[in-house]
Amino acid sequence: MDTNLTLDEALEELVSAEDFLDYFGVPYEPTVVHVNRLHILQRFHDYLNRYAKEMPTDDGERSAIYKQWLSQAYEDFVKSDALTEKVFAVFQNVPTADGGMSSFVSLDKVFRS
């Protein structure tokens, strides 16, 4: 990757969980990432949306924040698993009117970020 790119330009070139982890210098175990890559990236996205609302404009400061939350997202799946963490709505069971449980996800929620 070109080292002269801005953070935003570099992020556009990252396509896999491994790319993100390598770019931000987060050490990882390939077997953990192989099993949980989409969960890690979604959790990273969720952390940024929840905790980093006002992102600094400085690339160095933003990069440090991204690294912090990517590291946390990865560690979540080192210590746990996808079924326990329930990152995606399909894993989140909710009570139904008849006393059962459902993991139904409506299309409007699927395409909302």
pLDDT at 51: 83
pTM above 0.75, yes or no: no
Residue 101 pLDDT greater than 70, yes or no: no
The answer to the question of residue 112 being in a domain is no
Using the structure block, give the residue that is written with the tokens 């409506």. Answer: 106
The answer to the question of residue 101 being in a domain is no
The answer to the question of residue 29 being in a domain is yes
pLDDT digits (tens, 9 = 90+) for 38-58: 889 988 998 898 887 788 999
The answer to the question of residue 14 being in a domain is yes
Number of domains in the chain: 1
The answer to the question of residue 94 being in a domain is no
The answer to the question of residue 67 being in a domain is yes
44/65 Cα distance (integer angstroms)? 11
Show the domain range for 80: 7-87
